[in-house]
Structure 1
Amino acid sequence: MSVAAADPDFATRLNAFDLAALVYEDGIAIDRLMVDFARGLAEAGRRVGGIAQLPPGPATEPGQVDLIDLMTGDIRPLKQRLGPGAASCTLDGSALAAASTGIRRAVAAQVDLVVISKFSKQEIAGGGFRAEFAAAVEAGLPVLTSVKRSQIGGWLAFTGGLGTLLDGRMDILVDWWAETERRRAKTRHRHVS
């Protein structure tokens, strides 16, 4: 079920610009872009929360995926290290639970921006961070994620066609954020007047 279908008034409350997905292809350094953008906002005094996937570093083992909680700075490996030849699922359930908690903590803190690293096959299938996406959007917070070009159909089905798709470039991301802040400040000013 899409976010919009679960709540018929959702579309009237959501500014589609607040829900943004960076579109990427294999080989694009989307993780680096998201982490650099989030860190830049935090350095500029914005409250950024949620989770991002750290780009591989020189000491990163092949297949290693690390998530960073953008509010606490905690880094957790997403995959269990099961050793060579292991055939079972390598996703670490406790890391996923901690990441979920990090996203929900950001929503509860009403941060300026909630980052959720990726919308992927897990969310399309009804799992992953699907509930956390919905909670952030329903709280009226700007949400930034990334979606692989081949999975845009699943993203559009989940959002009910709402939201905005962005090319995975820093200049476009910076422009999106500037417009988001401008529009949200205007809305706050209207509510105060």
Structure 2
Amino acid sequence: MPVAHPAADPDLAARINAFDLAALVYDDGIAIDRLMVDFAHTLTQAGRRVGGIAQLPPGPATEPGQVDLIDLMSGEIRPLKQRLGPGAASCTLDGGALAAASTGIRRAVAARVDLVVISKFSKQEIAGGGFRAEFAAAVEAGLPVLTSVKRSQIGGWLAFTGGLGTLLDGRMDILADWWAETRRRRA
């Protein structure tokens, strides 16, 4: 059964508090991954239940091109790309890792966490794949959702959301203000 999304379901769109759906807008070179991981950690330390997935920022031991995702509920870290070796020309995206990450998002939705984090809305989702169904499931469940979207892909995000949601500048103070207002509205 396909999952409805706001742009395709006017009844769902009427039930959504657009403020609960937020995307951090970023450009190349902006440390959006670090911001999202730090924000999730701050909320968890404050006693909030945060679930979903976040992309870990590269560390000193990170290999070039390596992308790791962390399941924010279990703490499990998974590489998102296959290591095919030097000179490999095929796609390095690991379908198994993507499926495992989607399970982590769905588990967070089922647990009705305080905030669902989905690291990015990108080309995969715009093309109809990636975590598109998981975004829709979290929104349908009425949970606050935080993601990031590259400035060049805002049009795809707005098409998916039907224009609903809040676009945020990628700064901790703005993110903290969004969360405080979200909590106030949900109280």
Q: TM-score, normalised by structure 1?
A: 0.93
Is the Cα–Cα contact under 8 Å of residues 17 and 164 in structure 1 kept in the other structure?
yes
**C-alpha distance in structure 1 between counterparts of 2:3 and 2:60, whole Å:** 39
Dislocated runs of 4+, deviation >3 Å: 1-5
Is the Cα–Cα contact under 8 Å of residues 79 and 92 in structure 1 kept in the other structure?
yes
1:93 alignment partner in structure 2:
95
Is the Cα–Cα contact under 8 Å of residues 3 and 133 in structure 2 kept in the other structure?
no
Deviation at 1:57, TM superposition (A): 0.2
Q: How many residues align?
A: 185
1:76-121, Cα deviation, whole Å (9 max, x unpaired): 0000001000111101111001000000000000000000000000
Is the Cα–Cα contact under 8 Å of residues 55 and 67 in structure 2 kept in the other structure?
yes
**C-alpha distance in structure 1 between counterparts of 2:34 and 2:23, whole Å:** 15
Mark the structure with the bigger radius of gyration: 1
Is the Cα–Cα contact under 8 Å of residues 50 and 70 in structure 1 kept in the other structure?
yes
**C-alpha distance in structure 2 between counterparts of 1:11 and 1:120, whole Å:** 22
Q: CA RMSD in A?
A: 1.6
Deviation at 1:6, TM superposition (A): 2.7
Q: 1:13 to 1:161 in 2, by over 3 A?
A: same
Matched, 1:143 2:145: yes
Q: TM-score, normalised by structure 2?
A: 0.96
Q: Percent identity?
A: 92
Deviation at 1:11, TM superposition (A): 1.9
Is the Cα–Cα contact under 8 Å of residues 3 and 158 in structure 1 kept in the other structure?
no
**C-alpha distance in structure 2 between counterparts of 1:38 and 1:22, whole Å:** 14
Is the Cα–Cα contact under 8 Å of residues 3 and 160 in structure 1 kept in the other structure?
no
* Runs of 5+ consecutive residues of structure 1 not aligned to the other structure: 186-193
Is the Cα–Cα contact under 8 Å of residues 70 and 77 in structure 2 kept in the other structure?
yes
* Runs of 5+ consecutive residues of structure 2 not aligned to the other structure: none
